Amino acid sequence: MPSLSALCGYPGAVIAVLTQPDRPAGRGRRITASPVKETALGLGVPVLQPRSLKTREAHTMLAGLDLDLLVVVAYGLILPQWVLELPRYGCINVHASLLPKYRGPAPIQWAVINGEKETGVCTQMMEKELDTGDLLLSVRESIKSDDTAGDLHDRLAVKGASLLIDTLKGLTDKTIQPVSQDHSLATYAPMLTKDDGLINWNKPAESLECFIRGVTPWPGAFTFLGDKRLKIFKSRSVKTEISEPPGTVLKGFPDELRIAAATGALAIEEIQGASGKRLSIRDFLRGHPILPGAVFG
């Protein structure tokens, strides 16, 4: 949305917005427009929502736009070759990493999960393979010690919008020359699923803290205590010598919850039960005491 709003600062520059079809959302599963669609309509830009780009109808629709340039920001689908070849000057992608690191659909989450201290956002020319095209511009962004993937996403979205405008100006002025990626340095950031939020207590506490931040807000970190599913929003790694197996609740003060990891312990700070709301660990334990020796898994 920040990129779309920035582009619409140039009257007549955006002739259409292509976004995913409306889908069911919320507990009532009501058909809901995406925030991108709502933003576009609010800016007075026509919206196109083909269910697939592999149909004749989609080809006719896009070919009729007579495109100079196609800008892609978090579209979520791989573009067919005919789409890449359609605009006169090609297709530009805004990607939330410093390529060639973290190619793929979840670069922000994996940068946090892996404990990176820095990432960024870049613009690139698109080609058939995913995130392999020539680089245009990039900007770096530090990852804070308490950043969730959501926090980092919001900052990179704003920086990406600014970078996109700088890129278009540079291409127009011919002050930018595309640069090939060093493919030998490429790493991949695979898509996450709901099940990927499950906490593996057989990892070091520092890694688990990064993992929880990296999967927040989606898919969300969770664990089980018996048959009860608990969602973890915030935690803190603690360097301590332990002898208990990973996942074991350690002895501590009544208002804290420390869980043994492969090395060290993880102090849980914000948690949510299956049918409750997000609470501080102190408030949660008042109504749901968890005794030392209990095992999470």
Same domain, 105 and 215: no
Same domain, 206 and 98: no
Same domain, 36 and 181: yes
Same domain, 168 and 280: no
**What is the predicted pLDDT for the residue at 237?**
98
Q: Is residue 292 part of a domain?
A: no
**What is the predicted pLDDT for the residue at 73?**
96
Same domain, 178 and 138: yes
Q: Is residue 181 part of a domain?
A: yes
Residue 43 Cα to chain centre, angstroms: 25
Q: Is residue 297 part of a domain?
A: no
Same domain, 251 and 136: no
Same domain, 224 and 133: no
Same domain, 237 and 278: yes
Range of the domain at 200: 194-287
Q: pLDDT (tens digit, 0 to 9) for every residue of the chain, 297 residues total?
A: 999 999 998 877 899 999 999 999 887 889 999 999 999 999 999 999 998 998 999 999 999 999 999 999 998 778 999 999 999 999 999 999 999 999 999 999 999 999 999 999 999 999 999 999 999 999 999 999 999 999 999 999 999 999 999 999 999 999 999 999 999 999 999 999 999 999 999 999 999 999 999 999 999 999 999 999 999 999 999 999 999 999 999 998 889 999 999 999 999 999 999 878 999 999 999 999 999 999 999
Q: Is residue 214 part of a domain?
A: yes
Q: What is the DSSP letter of 296?
A: B
Q: Is residue 10 part of a domain?
A: yes
Final residue belonging to a domain, choices 134, 160, 185: 185
- Per-residue exposure over 214-244, b if at least 16 CB sit within 10 Å of its own CB, e if not: bbbeeeebbbebeeeebbbbbbebbeeebee
Final residue belonging to a domain, choices 153, 185, 217: 185
User: Strands, DSSP E only, in 40-154?
Assistant: 47-48, 70-73, 91-95, 118-125, 135-142
Do residues 296 and 228 lie in contact, with contact meaning Cβ atoms separated by under 8 Å? no
Q: What is the CATH number of the domain that holds 244?
A: 3.10.25.10
Same domain, 172 and 226: no
Same domain, 52 and 181: yes
Same domain, 227 and 145: no
Q: What is the DSSP letter of 13?
A: S
Same domain, 181 and 202: no
Final residue belonging to a domain, choices 129, 151, 185: 185
Q: What is the CATH number of the domain that holds 168?
A: 3.40.50.170
Residues with Cβ within 8 Å of residue 38, at least 6 apart in sequence: none
Do residues 46 and 17 lie in contact, with contact meaning Cβ atoms separated by under 8 Å? yes
Q: Is residue 101 part of a domain?
A: yes
Q: What is the count of structural domains for the chain?
A: 2
Q: Is residue 294 part of a domain?
A: no
Residue 156 Cα to chain centre, angstroms: 10
Q: How far apart are CA 88 and CA 64, in angstroms?
A: 13
Residue 152 burial by Cβ neighbours in a 10 Å radius (0-12, 13-18, 19+): buried
**What is the predicted pLDDT for the residue at 76?**
77
Q: Is residue 295 part of a domain?
A: no
